[in-house]
Amino acid sequence: MRLLLVICSLLLVVGTFLLGSSGVGHASDAEQKPVVYFGIIPRYNPMLMYRSYQPLMDYLTEHTSYHFELKLARDYTEAVALLRVGVTPIASLGDVTFTEAQRNFGAIPILKPLNARGEPFYRSVIIVPEDSPIRTLADLKGKTFAFGDPHSTSGNLIPRYLLFQHGITLFDLEEFVNLGSHDAVAKAVLKGKYAAGAVKDVIAYRYKQHGLRFLAESDPIPSVPIVVRADASVALVKAVNEALLTIDAEDPVQREQMKSWDPEFRNGFVAAERKDYLPIFQLMDNVRGGCGIRCH
């Protein structure tokens, strides 16, 4: 028996040597691309985040000379921190988190996604259960409300401003909370934990079929930017721009390939500039009319 074990061990060693020398599975012989960690704010739960954004990483890896890996943050603040310290040289942020990153360490917007109508905008939606007696924003006085992350644009800053425009402050609500993600808000409203909530439009439409009703929508908001650090590699920025700006959402083949992408990213991209987000800068500074520096 011992002799048999020795023979089997020798055969295993020889087989492993031959397999390695033939190049099969030998990583050092394959083309090695430099790894780039792509940061992203936690818009949804982690499983949905990977399912929604990993296809974009695969596309960028295939169409550039870099290997992109998704780097999920635990919250919006960490996503900005990872970009600040350089763990992620590139990231998909929200308008508010970009504003914070731009002001604190000079982050630069390079691209923004188009919506299904080919426009670089999205909206914040205030949602209620389908059978709710609430019919107007004024009806929210004395009710409970779920906001998104405190650093969320469409989940916190914009809906607070929208409520303010209709004469409702936080003091007029019976209770309010800030939940971690847009789908957490949608689920909490569907379960009746809160009378109303605020989410971005793609999430509102995703959960509408499950029993949500749109109570109000904001004016158009500049699309969420893909941003880079101020010292990001010129080659990296060029590669990402070329890969994403050449997407043609009208091409049937590309449209089929992008079906698994997050709905916010499957309609193509256009170039982004700092000036596109000046309305958000101004709103964050408007302490009386919005969440402003009291939250950020």
Q: Does residue 144 carry a pLDDT above 70?
A: yes
Tokens, residue 133: 């007696």
Kindly list the structural domains of the chain, giving each domain's residue range(s) and its CATH number in brackets, ordered by start. Answer: 34-120+223-285 (3.40.190.10), 124-219 (3.40.190.10)
Exposure string over 189-201, b if 16+ CB within 10 A, otherwise e: bbeeebbbbbbbb
Vertex 89, ends 237 and 33: CA angle to 5°?
A: 70
What is the phi-psi region of residue 118: left when phi exceeds 0, alpha when psi lies from -120 to 50, beta otherwise? left
> Mind listing the pLDDT tens digit for each residue in 93-140?
999 999 999 999 999 999 999 999 999 999 999 999 999 999 999 999
Q: Is there a contact between 104 and 284 (Cβ–Cβ < 8 Å)?
A: no
Q: Do the beta carbons of residue 134 and residue 142 sit within 8 Å? A: no
Residue 25 has pLDDT above 70, yes or no: no
Please provide residue 89's backbone torsions phi and psi, each rounded to the nearest 5 degrees.
Answer: -75, -15
Quick one: DSSP state of residue 141?
T
User: Comparing C-alpha atoms, which of 113, 120, 106, 114 is closest to residue 228?
Assistant: 106
Cα separation, 107 vs 168, in Å, equals 34
**CA torsion, ordered 130, 131, 136, 140, to nearest 10 deg:** -100
Burial group, residue 145, by CB count within 10 angstroms (0-12, 13-18, 19+): buried
Cα–Cα nearest to 218, from 135, 138, 161: 161
157-193 pLDDT tens trace: 999 999 999 999 999 999 999 998 999 999 999 999 9
pTM: 0.82
Q: How confident is the model over 191-217, as pLDDT tens digits? A: 999 999 999 999 999 999 999 999 999
Higher pLDDT, residue 77 or 19: 77
In contact, 52 and 258? CB cutoff 8 Å: no
CA gap 176, 169 in Å, rounded: 11
pLDDT band at 286 (very low <50, low <70, confident <90, very high): confident
Q: In angstroms, how far is CA 285 from the centroid of its own chain? A: 24
